[in-house]
Amino acid sequence: MTRAGFIALAGRPNVGKSTLVNAIVGQKVAIVSDKPQTTRRAARGVATGPDWQLILVDLPGSQRPRDALTARMQARVERELGEADGALLVVNGEQGVGPGDRFLAGLLRDATVPLIVAVNKVDRLDRGARGGGDRVLLALEATEQLGLEGAEVFPVSARTGRGVGPLVEHLTGLLPESPFLYEPGDVTDQPLTVELAELVREQVLRRTFQEVPHSVEVVVNDLERTSEDLTTVRALIWVETESQKGILIGAHGHMVKAVGTAARRELQRILGTRVHLDLAVRVRRGWRADESLLDRLGIE
């Protein structure tokens, strides 16, 4: 008998959902950044055990819609939660419970699927005033503050892996009997071009500030195996203003070169070959409000 099913991860921006997905899957399938709104698509990470397959839906950070992009992100959150076999609410143990966590808890409180709470970043408490011995107590306090006293709660560190094993064991116990839904070697359902584009965007997010990260999208236009050991990737970085373009190119092209150098390493890891990465920066005004363009980008 095998089990397979979907667990939706909810949480306010920057609580570590993507890092937790990567930790459970065992390799990087979702980009990581300290910027809010890093996740735009409901990327699925697939973790397969001897007799179970756990499909983790890393939802966009829930937020009040401000434009067509964020409206789609919020609608996707609500739809995926309704179709899941369980819901995992991730909160930041270092920062504690905030208004965004309470908002999400309100949405989940009457859900018909099992609800689990993961209190993430507990490794940072070891250096804090409370100390590592209070991890379990902190997790229980978090569920009380959220009004979710009946929920199962797990203190974890997605960064170090602490507590992730017991969490996975509990999640797999929620899955229905089912044949595997993906091939055992699959780790994500993202198309390769989207996966590569997201890795480039991750490097942009790590190097830019203020309004630039939210205005950036990356599109891979061409992917060509030019020789047995070389793949050529041509990608466009979109921004919304000329000033943002200037920031991303940088003085004498230093910024876009740094992005390309770091992204190339990640692309080589995925593709298993050397990579020639051709990056260009273009202004596309108002792309976040362009419904037809968001359709083509796969942001449902």
User: What's the chain look like in SS3?
Assistant: CCEEEEEEEECCCCCCHHHHHHHHHCCCCCCCCCCCCCCCCCEEEEEECCCEEEEEEECCCCCCCCCHHHHHHHHHHHHHHHHCCEEEEEEECCCCCCHHHHHHHHHHCCCCCCEEEEEECHHHHHHCCCCHHHHHHHHHHHHHHHCCCCCEEEECCCCCCCCHHHHHHHHHHCCCECCCCCCCCCCECCCHHHHHHHHHHHHHHHHCCCCCHHHCEEEEEEEEEEECCEEEEEEEEEECCHHHHHHHHCHHHHHHHHHHHHHHHHHHHHHCCEEEEEEEEEECCCHHHCHHHHHHHCCC
Q: How far is CA 54 from the centre of its chain?
A: 16
CATH architecture of residue range(s) 3-173:
3-Layer(aba) Sandwich (3.40)
Neighbours of 107 (CB within 10 A): 15
Domain ranges within the chain, ordered by starting residue: 3-173, 192-297
CATH architecture of residue range(s) 192-297:
2-Layer Sandwich (3.30)
Digit-by-digit pLDDT tens for the chain (300 residues) are 999 999 988 888 778 888 999 999 998 887 776 665 566 666 689 999 999 999 998 765 555 556 676 666 667 667 777 788 999 999 988 888 888 888 888 877 777 889 999 999 888 776 554 444 566 666 778 778 888 877 889 999 999 999 999 999 999 999 999 999 999 989 988 889 988 998 999 899 888 877 677 788 899 999 999 898 999 999 999 999 999 999 999 999 999 999 999 999 999 999 999 999 999 999 988 877 777 777 777 665
Global pTM value: 0.75
